[in-house]
Structure 1
Amino acid sequence: MAAADLGTAEWERSKITNQDLNLLKKLGITTKPKAVCFPSEESYPAPPMGYRVSFVDHLIRGLSTPIHPFLRGLLYVYGLQLHHLTPNSILHISIFITLCEAFLGVSPNWALWKRIFFCRRNGSPNVAYNIGGVVISIRSTADYFDVKLPDSVQGWRKRWLYIREENDGCLEDNIPPFDGAEKILRRRSWDAEATEEERTSTESLMARIHELQNTRGKELSGIQIIVYFLKSRVQPLQARKFPLWKYTGNEDVDRLSVDLEVKDLERLVRKITSLSKKDSIPSSCRVKPYSATHALPKNHPNLVSLPPLPEGGEVEERTVISNDNQEASSFVNEPADSRKSAGSAEKDAASEDTTSAQSPPPADSPKNKRKRGDVEDSGTSKPEEAAPLPQKAAYDPYLASIISSDDDEETPALDVAARTSMSHTLVISEPRVEGEESSPPQQNIGASTPPSSPRAPSPKRARTEIVSEPTLQLSSSSNLLMEDPVIKDLLRIGAQFVGYREYANKAEEKLAEANDRANTLAQQLEQSEKARKKAESMLLMHEQRLIKPRLTLLVSKTEKEASHR
């Protein structure tokens, strides 16, 4: 049975505590005006113009805007959005960038990254997550730091907010626009390994990593790297004016805040790692990092290798291998952020990766078509038995927003007909999903649900139609049309337009309210002006009444004095 993508069912109203707000303030993330915008009552993200969706647990692990070009490249090559990455995956990227800049003295290196990391879908054979749906893991063969990450980050999916997109007029620093309906598709780049040329060019970097790990008395650990970037108060995933090997200390222009107190630093390190109160937190690194006071050696090579960006056109590594909703073997649970789980997941998918890289996406043989509940295909079927997977119908956000609602207590079940321009219809039913604190529910869901529109209010009860299997039949010409990049962009822009239209409607309402207030103030000002003039006239009359008798008395007195003379 194919794994069902929870999609928009994972989103719910944001629940950010005062403790979260205090932590963001101490880290200097909310001190800049309008840097962060907090959701109100919406249960589905509708970021204001110029903002993107993020999470508290991403920000405290090194994320900030404008984003680092290396992170932007990863999102593009892997075909992901920020909300697709787990907090542990964000921390992996922060540690890697800090390692490269502060301890290797080079820019974040794409070839080195491919030697150490790979991607896997986060979920189970029955449920595929959208929020945190991709896990970045360490290869079992990589000689890398044993980063002590927690198996599960409690409730992080509920702590979402909006961060202001700051790009300083540079398109290269942009975060991809939020699209909660975008499906996670496994790409060739998820398993991309360094070429022989890249391995040769990065051998010196791998040797240096091995030296940092094993130099007696000067061993460097993953925890020390985390402590260093937290103490430096520089966000590794932010596009900065200077790399960390030029860090100038307390006066550095890229610092977000003053030094954290020791107790706050230790509490934060334990929060984002698996260390307990019994474990000691290193106060400094045993290896002196490169900085303005510890300059790079003369003739130190800076091996520049960034992930391929869209300016050069589509790259081969972005080729979609398959939709992971059809492959149980490609899923790992969230604890795969640990090194042990990453290695086992890599071994389990080795044969699948080899076949997928050389042949079309595996699919069910017509002779052995699976029914609901059958064992998942391992993805290692022979090329001659493979058949192309059916394409899903395009999502129509307008139709998805037409939901009837009349009850405040029930969880929605959607009955939506998603129509394409070719008038094909897909009838979907979604059972009730129960949320839990640590991660989205892992229910046995047999059908996928088209995502609801950002402009649609949270439905309470909807008309349902239970069907045995969702079916969709498209002609070959339809398949080609749906694969057209222009059509995909139009569908994505259309889905975003619905959210922007809601934003525009709200802006118009607020403008009308502002005009009403302005008219009221103008009337009050006019009334105040009339009252002022009336008060001035009355004061003048009162003064005349007081002054006239005095003048008469003074004149009479003067006349008497003159007569006596």
Structure 2
Amino acid sequence: MAAADVGSAEWERSKISTQDVNLLKKLGISKKPKAVCFPSEESYPTPPMGYRVSFVDHLIRGLSAPIHPFLRGLLFVYGLQLHHLTPNSILHISIFITLCEAFLGVSPNWALWKRIFFCRRNGSANVAYNIGGVVISVRPTVDYFDVKLPDSVQGWRKKWLYIQEENHGCAEDNIPPFDGAEKILRRRSWDAEATEEERTSTEALMTRIHELQNTRGKELSGIQITAYFLRTRVQPLQARKYPLWKYAGDEDVDRLSADLEVKDLEKLVRKISSLSKKDYVPSSCRVKPYSATNALPKNHPNLVSLPPLPEGGDVEERAVISDDNQDAPSFVNEPTDSQKSAGSYEKEAASEATASAQSLPPAVSPKNKRKRSDVEYSGTSKPEEAVPSRQKAAYDPYLETLISSDDEEEIPAFDVAARTSTSQTLVVSETPVEGEESSPPQQNAGASTPPSSPLVPSPKRARIETIPEPTLQLSSSSNPLLDDPMIKELFRIGAQFIGYRDYASKTEEKLAEVNERANTLAQKLEQSEEARKKAESDAFQARREADKAKTEAAGVEDLRKRLHDAETSLSEHIAAQSAREEAILKRIRSQNRRFVNKTSQEFELEDPDNDPLLDAVSFLEFHGTEAREGIDQAKAGLSRLFPYFFPKKEEPATFLALAKCFNPPEDLGLKMRQENMKVAVESSVALVADSQQTIDWAKVGDTEQIEQAKWRSLIKAAKPNTKKILSYLGIKPSSTPSSSKPEV
């Protein structure tokens, strides 16, 4: 049985909600002036000049105008329009382009695409869709990312709109003109496989894909790729200025909007995938994608392989194999993408498309029934036409048996042949019953249409036969007995008795059938009532479990969020603590280096803790002990010297003040020696005066006239008598003579 292509009959008035409009605005798809045009009341798309037909579910999965050259090539080589592809197929293409540009560092590769994907019709053997009539599927033999596509996308066919075709004067970006009734033709390219040369050139890319999937701790998944291109706010299926490996973040020229909030991003990922509210949505990829901040390695190969474009002429892969609308090939439902059961929306479409095929055909009459026309015209004489009665006849059971239903057998006609002179024949006089409607002429009483439902029998048209009143038609030698009124009455009563008997027998049979049907209906009604109660109980229990699961899910989500916040706070606290410890360690090491530079004394720990901070503190403690002992000794020494240098001052209480006293701008030792020298000079003068010698002190004071050699000779001459002079002056000489030069 060939598949019936619904074609343009699938289109109906667009039903786009306010929530869908707000989502498009939030994603930045409809922010440009006249970028999106919403249909009004038309039930079939009639895009304005410069616009093409698209769907809300296509746009939120990465589609924007002008379209990417790779998508344009796919549409050309597969012989498709945008509305032929399902939302899951659009998502497959977006993920593939993102994978190539952001994680493989190459342009979307046609040879790699043919190694991974192929096309199939979406539908069944009885219904072939036009909207979403083609499904892009992963080859069963290929190990590819688990995209987790939904089983079905509810109502996406009803959310169509117009998008502006921005080709910038370049034919490469054009979307094929819209034709809602264009048939989908199966082409050779749908199953095209990579050649041996293409497989060799793309083997490195396939190896890299397997590494991205299976590297422990850095596994890449289809959900991560989906979340990445939604998070970057760059539509993969749009013709862009730069590829994704040059993505520049917030300043990228191809971004449509600002970053989505985390909750909006997670909600969108769950909307276009099969993830539930309990499933975790990754906030980042485990593999760092290529971008402006993570440039491609030097000498990174860029394999360019695009699908054939119209400018190059027709290609062999576009050759039509068969018309899927007529030849009824193998079909596949859309959920084949995710290797799951068929979607519910496809079942609904199939049931709508096959409703006419499932209706009951007109029934035919049983072969063992004779048509009324055969009965009426089986005799030698033509039956007379019924004459309308003017008065309603009384009820006659025998006559009622002649009013048969559609499932009763025909009443055999009486022989109305003319009697001969030697025979006595009953002649049927066809007199219609008064008050009853006669059947229309030439009506096929044997053909009847069975009722559409066993519970509601169809109304039956009463068929009225002529009432034979048997009369004796005598020959010329008539029998007086047959003309007796009593005999005629007996004949009439006998005929009525036969009618009553047949009527009672048929009535009993009908009553038995009715009772049996009533019992069956009562049992079915009882079973239906029990099933209804059970269904209500199950539904109530399911609602309770759903509410409980929703509450638990909300609690789990709250706990997960709190745990995430706690982990973030703990990580920040650990980072701050590490930074603080590093700063403390830096300061302690600096103090230790200063102490070593001052004292030129280093220590070694006997039992180190192998902790930089604790070991540095241990060194600081040693240095502190040394500093304290040194300060104590210095304070004791300075306290002894203080009365000699400052005889008229009181010793300060603190070591710092005491040390400052011994560190004035002038030299205390020189000052003390000069004072001692002054006392010595004055003592010498007094000694000379006491000796009563005459000395010209003017000449002695004029030091400029005295040569140093002469002074030294005088001091040298006086040196043997130094102890005597000092003893005379009352000064106790030191045990060790001074080796310093005399000061002048």
TM-score, with structure 2 as normaliser: 0.47
Alignment correspondent of 2:40 = 40
Deviation at 1:143, TM superposition (A): 1.6
- Given that 1:89 and 1:135 are in contact with CA atoms closer than 8 Å, whether structure 2 keeps it comes out as yes
- Given that 1:154 and 1:437 are in contact with CA atoms closer than 8 Å, whether structure 2 keeps it comes out as no
- Matched to 2:272, the amino acid is I
Residues in 1 aligned to 2:191 and 2:347: alpha-carbon distance in whole angstroms: 27
Residues in 2 aligned to 1:446 and 1:3: alpha-carbon distance in whole angstroms: 14
SS at match of 1:440: helix
Residues in 1 aligned to 2:125 and 2:321: alpha-carbon distance in whole angstroms: 18
Pairs within 5 Å for 1:56-455: 56-339=56-339, 440-442=349-351, 443-444=353-354
Residues in 2 aligned to 1:437 and 1:15: alpha-carbon distance in whole angstroms: 18
Deviation at 1:160, TM superposition (A): 0.3
Residues in 2 aligned to 1:198 and 1:246: alpha-carbon distance in whole angstroms: 26
- Given that 1:52 and 1:165 are in contact with CA atoms closer than 8 Å, whether structure 2 keeps it comes out as yes
Residues in 1 aligned to 2:22 and 2:67: alpha-carbon distance in whole angstroms: 23
Deviation at 1:335, TM superposition (A): 1.2
SS at match of 2:234: coil
Alignment correspondent of 1:550 = none
Structure 1: runs of 5 or more not aligned: 343-434, 448-565
Pairs within 5 Å for 1:4-23: 4-23=4-23
Deviation at 1:439, TM superposition (A): 5.5
* Higher deviation after alignment, 435-444 or 187-196: 435-444
Pairs within 5 Å for 1:499-518: none
- Given that 1:157 and 1:439 are in contact with CA atoms closer than 8 Å, whether structure 2 keeps it comes out as no
Encode CA deviations 1:320-368: one digit per residue, 9 max, x unaligned: 00011234442111211214679xxxxxxxxxxxxxxxxxxxxxxxxxx
Deviation at 1:440, TM superposition (A): 2.6
Deviation at 1:8, TM superposition (A): 1.0
Residues in 1 aligned to 2:76 and 2:330: alpha-carbon distance in whole angstroms: 21
Cα distance, 1:195–1:439 mapped onto 2, change above 3 Å: farther
Structure showing greater radius of gyration is 2
Cα distance, 1:307–1:445 mapped onto 2, change above 3 Å: farther
- Matched to 2:349, the amino acid is P
Residues in 1 aligned to 2:205 and 2:349: alpha-carbon distance in whole angstroms: 39
- Given that 1:187 and 1:318 are in contact with CA atoms closer than 8 Å, whether structure 2 keeps it comes out as yes
Residues in 1 aligned to 2:6 and 2:73: alpha-carbon distance in whole angstroms: 26
Encode CA deviations 1:306-325: one digit per residue, 9 max, x unaligned: 00011111100000000112
Residues in 2 aligned to 1:278 and 1:158: alpha-carbon distance in whole angstroms: 29
- Matched to 2:334, the amino acid is E
* Higher deviation after alignment, 327-336 or 245-254: 327-336
Alignment correspondent of 1:55 = 55
- Matched to 2:200, the amino acid is T
Cα distance, 1:295–1:439 mapped onto 2, change above 3 Å: farther
Alignment correspondent of 1:493 = none
1 or 2, which has the higher helix percentage?
Answer: 2
- Matched to 2:185, the amino acid is L
Deviation at 1:441, TM superposition (A): 3.6
SS at match of 2:144: coil
Alignment correspondent of 1:472 = none
- Given that 1:146 and 1:222 are in contact with CA atoms closer than 8 Å, whether structure 2 keeps it comes out as yes
- Matched to 1:101, the amino acid is E
Deviation at 1:79, TM superposition (A): 0.1
Residues in 2 aligned to 1:165 and 1:325: alpha-carbon distance in whole angstroms: 30
Residues in 1 aligned to 2:69 and 2:173: alpha-carbon distance in whole angstroms: 6
Alignment correspondent of 2:28 = 28
Cα distance, 1:436–1:117 mapped onto 2, change above 3 Å: closer
Encode CA deviations 1:46-81: one digit per residue, 9 max, x unaligned: 000000000000000000010000000000000000
Alignment correspondent of 2:437 = none
- Given that 1:14 and 1:43 are in contact with CA atoms closer than 8 Å, whether structure 2 keeps it comes out as yes
Encode CA deviations 1:382-417: one digit per residue, 9 max, x unaligned: xxxxxxxxxxxxxxxxxxxxxxxxxxxxxxxxxxxx
Residues in 1 aligned to 2:60 and 2:144: alpha-carbon distance in whole angstroms: 23
Higher RCO (C-alpha under 8 Å, 6+ residues apart):
1
- Matched to 1:167, the amino acid is N
Residues in 1 aligned to 2:336 and 2:6: alpha-carbon distance in whole angstroms: 20
Encode CA deviations 1:66-97: one digit per residue, 9 max, x unaligned: 00000000000000000000000000000000
SS at match of 2:52: strand
Residues in 2 aligned to 1:170 and 1:445: alpha-carbon distance in whole angstroms: 46
Aligned Cα RMSD in Å?
1.7
Residues in 1 aligned to 2:348 and 2:197: alpha-carbon distance in whole angstroms: 41
Deviation at 1:438, TM superposition (A): 7.7
- Given that 1:84 and 1:134 are in contact with CA atoms closer than 8 Å, whether structure 2 keeps it comes out as yes
- Matched to 2:354, the amino acid is N
Alignment correspondent of 1:396 = none
Residues in 2 aligned to 1:439 and 1:38: alpha-carbon distance in whole angstroms: 26
Residues in 2 aligned to 1:441 and 1:159: alpha-carbon distance in whole angstroms: 19
Residues in 2 aligned to 1:193 and 1:139: alpha-carbon distance in whole angstroms: 10
- Given that 2:154 and 2:345 are in contact with CA atoms closer than 8 Å, whether structure 1 keeps it comes out as no
* Higher deviation after alignment, 234-243 or 333-342: 333-342
Residues in 1 aligned to 2:264 and 2:126: alpha-carbon distance in whole angstroms: 40
Residues in 2 aligned to 1:55 and 1:193: alpha-carbon distance in whole angstroms: 30
- Given that 2:126 and 2:350 are in contact with CA atoms closer than 8 Å, whether structure 1 keeps it comes out as no
Residues in 1 aligned to 2:266 and 2:18: alpha-carbon distance in whole angstroms: 19
Cα distance, 1:437–1:5 mapped onto 2, change above 3 Å: closer
Residues in 1 aligned to 2:323 and 2:250: alpha-carbon distance in whole angstroms: 48
Cα distance, 1:93–1:341 mapped onto 2, change above 3 Å: farther
Residues in 1 aligned to 2:345 and 2:73: alpha-carbon distance in whole angstroms: 33
Residues in 2 aligned to 1:200 and 1:117: alpha-carbon distance in whole angstroms: 17
Say how many residue pairs are matched.
355
Alignment correspondent of 1:389 = none
Cα distance, 1:445–1:199 mapped onto 2, change above 3 Å: farther
- Given that 1:140 and 1:339 are in contact with CA atoms closer than 8 Å, whether structure 2 keeps it comes out as no
Residues in 1 aligned to 2:271 and 2:111: alpha-carbon distance in whole angstroms: 31
Residues in 2 aligned to 1:179 and 1:120: alpha-carbon distance in whole angstroms: 20
- Given that 2:116 and 2:139 are in contact with CA atoms closer than 8 Å, whether structure 1 keeps it comes out as yes
Residues in 1 aligned to 2:348 and 2:193: alpha-carbon distance in whole angstroms: 30
- Given that 1:146 and 1:339 are in contact with CA atoms closer than 8 Å, whether structure 2 keeps it comes out as no
- Given that 2:183 and 2:325 are in contact with CA atoms closer than 8 Å, whether structure 1 keeps it comes out as no
- Matched to 1:306, the amino acid is L
Residues in 2 aligned to 1:173 and 1:50: alpha-carbon distance in whole angstroms: 13
- Given that 1:233 and 1:259 are in contact with CA atoms closer than 8 Å, whether structure 2 keeps it comes out as yes
